[in-house]
């Protein structure tokens, strides 16, 4: 697939972007032939309409940009129309506001993505010449980072186990000149990552902690991604229907690797560290059990009341390790709780932060980048819910209330020296939408990339 802009060429087809409320004035200036052609095809500038205008001396095309209300009901209005254009190279002639050009042209590039590892699939056939106002290198870097995230999530666990995830991280590190270290199997116990080892020890493919570093100037940023490559639920076995999408339980790892690509490809001035606990939560005679009590890297004890709440366990050891270095910002990303999906659905990325600067910067960037997020509370009065009495912490509080909040509070216990934000993402597009095919998808990464300069400028 080609997630890049087309080279400028005199043969590129001029493309007009026409808002619905401006259609009358625009069409009045077109030739009678064009007016008749648009009338014949019912083109009125509605959102997602697209039409090729055959001329006597050259061909043009037009995409409907709809109304502010219709655009607010979705994202990537330009991509919606681009999907209806025939194969060819197009160059925007007019009608696309400069303030939305980067977002909309990114949507066009993302529409070119297709997961084609196992069967022939293609994205849209139309290619776009970048408008002059767009930073080509940046938009292409973002598109390719998102494509990496999508492909990692889409790949089944048979080909995306802990070893494969390590290999993908190594390939990314090699591309950008980053360093990487990996702690595997029983070495996790020797180096005091007991909960990562415990969760992954029942699988044939050994658990590991991936540690990638890049950059030697700027503020220190550590990304921690949940890399549960498949989650059976462990001895608290998931029902079949709930296990069907568990190849995506490493969506947090996929997201931080995609974001890491964006950061490195755009040469951001930051000292980046990426930590990924990569495991499979499997069933075997040596699997951890309900009512076991584990001792974490930080020394906090954890009572296991559900082996299917394993993601927070592996993240806890990785977060404690990240915090020991006292970076300026730690961000964790994980497909952690079903409660988050119940709260906000699949399209929004819930996040937790008590830092007003982080919140302000992220919320503004999320709107500008069409990458929606929703703030959830680190509600301290719920702390007793994660304190079982027999141990310091409970990995699965009874009652079912506030599940995504109690999970975030659990993780926060392992970060005491650094600024911390947590994202409980879904990582999956349930049905196709403009620029977002059904399947794996990145969430909040574009917003974070845009917000990071402000977040780290303290």
Across all residues in the chain, what is the average pLDDT? 97
135 Cβ contact partners less than 8 Å away, ≥ 6 residues apart: 102
Q: In the numeric block, which tokens belong to residue 289?
A: 């059990």
Beta strands in 282-414 (DSSP E): 293-295, 301-303, 329-334, 349-352, 373-376, 393-394
Mean pLDDT computed over 215-223: 97
Assessment of whether the complete model's pTM goes beyond 0.95: yes
Per-residue pLDDT at 70: 96
Q: Write out pLDDT tens, residues 361-409.
A: 999 999 999 999 999 999 999 999 999 999 999 999 998 899 999 999 9
Q: Write out pLDDT tens, residues 70-89.
A: 999 999 999 999 999 999 99
Cα gap 97→162, rounded to integer Å:
44
Q: Write out pLDDT tens, residues 340-353.
A: 999 999 999 999 99
Q: What is the CATH number of domain 141-456?
A: 3.40.630.10
Per-residue pLDDT at 55: 83
Q: Write out pLDDT tens, residues 47-72.
A: 999 999 998 778 999 999 999 999 99
Q: In the chain, where does the domain assigned CATH 3.40.220.10 lie?
A: 13-131
DSSP 271: E
Q: In the numeric block, which tokens belong to residue 83?
A: 């999907």
- Please give the positions annotated as active site: 238, 312
Mean pLDDT computed over 196-218: 98
Strands 329-334 and 270-281: unpaired
Q: In the numeric block, which tokens belong to residue 73?
A: 């009901």
Share of the chain above pLDDT 70, in %: 99
| Alpha carbon 419 to chain centroid, angstroms | 21
Per-residue pLDDT at 452: 98
With beta carbons less than 8 A apart as the criterion, state whether 306 and 395 touch: yes
| Residue 2 in this model has a pLDDT that exceeds 80 | no
Q: What is the CATH number of domain 13-131?
A: 3.40.220.10
Q: Could you write out the three-class secondary structure of 152-220?
A: HHHCCCCCCCHHHHHHHHHHHHHHHCCEEEEEECCHHHHCCCHHHHHHHCCCCCCCEEEEEEECCCCEE
H or E element at residue 433? none
Q: Write out pLDDT tens, residues 264-306.
A: 999 999 999 999 999 999 999 999 999 999 999 999 999 999 9
Per-residue pLDDT at 219: 98
Cα gap 116→131, rounded to integer Å:
29
Kindly indicate the confidence band of residue 1, based on its pLDDT and cuts at 50, 70 and 90. Answer: low
Q: Write out pLDDT tens, residues 115-144.
A: 999 999 999 999 999 999 999 999 999 999
Distances (CA, A) of 143 to 15, 91, 160, 435: 22, 19, 22, 10
Per-residue pLDDT at 57: 78
Per-residue pLDDT at 335: 98
Per-residue pLDDT at 58: 87
Per-residue pLDDT at 9: 87
H or E element at residue 222? strand 219-225
Mean pLDDT computed over 409-437: 98
Q: In the chain, where does the domain assigned CATH 3.40.630.10 lie?
A: 141-456
Gyration radius of the chain over CA positions = 24
């Amino acid at each position: 697939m080609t997630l890049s802009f087309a080279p400028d060429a005199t043969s590129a087809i001029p493309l007009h972007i026409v808002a619905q409320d401006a259609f009358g004035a625009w069409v009045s200036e077109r030739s009678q032939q064009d007016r008749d052609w648009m009338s014949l095809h019912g083109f009125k500038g509605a959102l997602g309409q697209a039409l090729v205008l055959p001329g006597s001396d050259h061909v043009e095309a037009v995409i409907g940009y709809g109304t502010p209300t219709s655009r607010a009901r979705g994202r990537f209005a330009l991509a919606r129309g681009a999907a209806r254009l025939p194969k060819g190279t197009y160059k925007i002639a007019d009608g696309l506001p400069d303030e939305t050009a980067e977002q909309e042209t990114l949507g066009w590039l993302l529409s070119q993505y297709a997961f084609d590892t196992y069967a022939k699939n293609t994205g849209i056939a139309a290619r776009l010449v970048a408008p002059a106002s767009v930073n080509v290198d940046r938009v292409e870097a973002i598109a390719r980072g998102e494509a990496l995230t999508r492909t990692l999530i889409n790949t089944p666990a048979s080909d995306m186990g802990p070893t494969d995830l390590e290999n993908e991280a190594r390939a990314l590190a090699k591309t950008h000149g980053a360093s990487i270290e990996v702690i595997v199997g029983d070495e996790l116990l020797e180096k005091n990552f007991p909960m990562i080892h415990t969760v992954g020890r029942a699988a044939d493919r050994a658990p590991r902690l991936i540690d990638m570093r890049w950059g030697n100037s700027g503020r220190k940023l550590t990304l921690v991604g949940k890399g549960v490559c498949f989650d059976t639920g462990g001895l608290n076995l998931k029902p079949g229907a709930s296990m069907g999408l568990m190849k995506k339980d490493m969506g947090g790892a996929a997201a931080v690797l995609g974001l890491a690509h964006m950061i490195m490809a755009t040469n951001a001035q930051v000292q980046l560290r990426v930590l990924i606990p990569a495991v499979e939560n499997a069933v075997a005679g040596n699997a951890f059990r309900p009512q076991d009590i584990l001792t974490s890297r930080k020394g906090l004890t954890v009572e296991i009341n559900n082996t299917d709440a394993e993601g927070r366990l592996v993240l806890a050891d990785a977060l404690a390790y990240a915090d020991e270095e006292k970076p300026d910002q730690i961000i964790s990303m994980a497909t952690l709780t079903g409660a988050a999906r119940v709260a906000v659905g699949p399209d929004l990325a819930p996040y937790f932060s008590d830092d007003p600067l982080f919140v302000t910067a992220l919320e503004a960037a999320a709107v500008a980048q069409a990458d929606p997020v929703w703030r959830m509370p680190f509600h301290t009065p719920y702390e007793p819910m994660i304190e079982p009495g027999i141990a310091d912490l409970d990995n699965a509080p009874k009652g079912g209330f506030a599940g995504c909040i109690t999970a975030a509070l659990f993780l926060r216990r392992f970060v005491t020296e650094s600024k911390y934000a947590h994202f409980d993402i879904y990582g999956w597009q349930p049905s196709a939408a403009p620029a977002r095919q059904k399947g794996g998808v990145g969430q909040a990464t574009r917003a974070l990339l845009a917000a990071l300069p402000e977040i780290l400028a303290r």
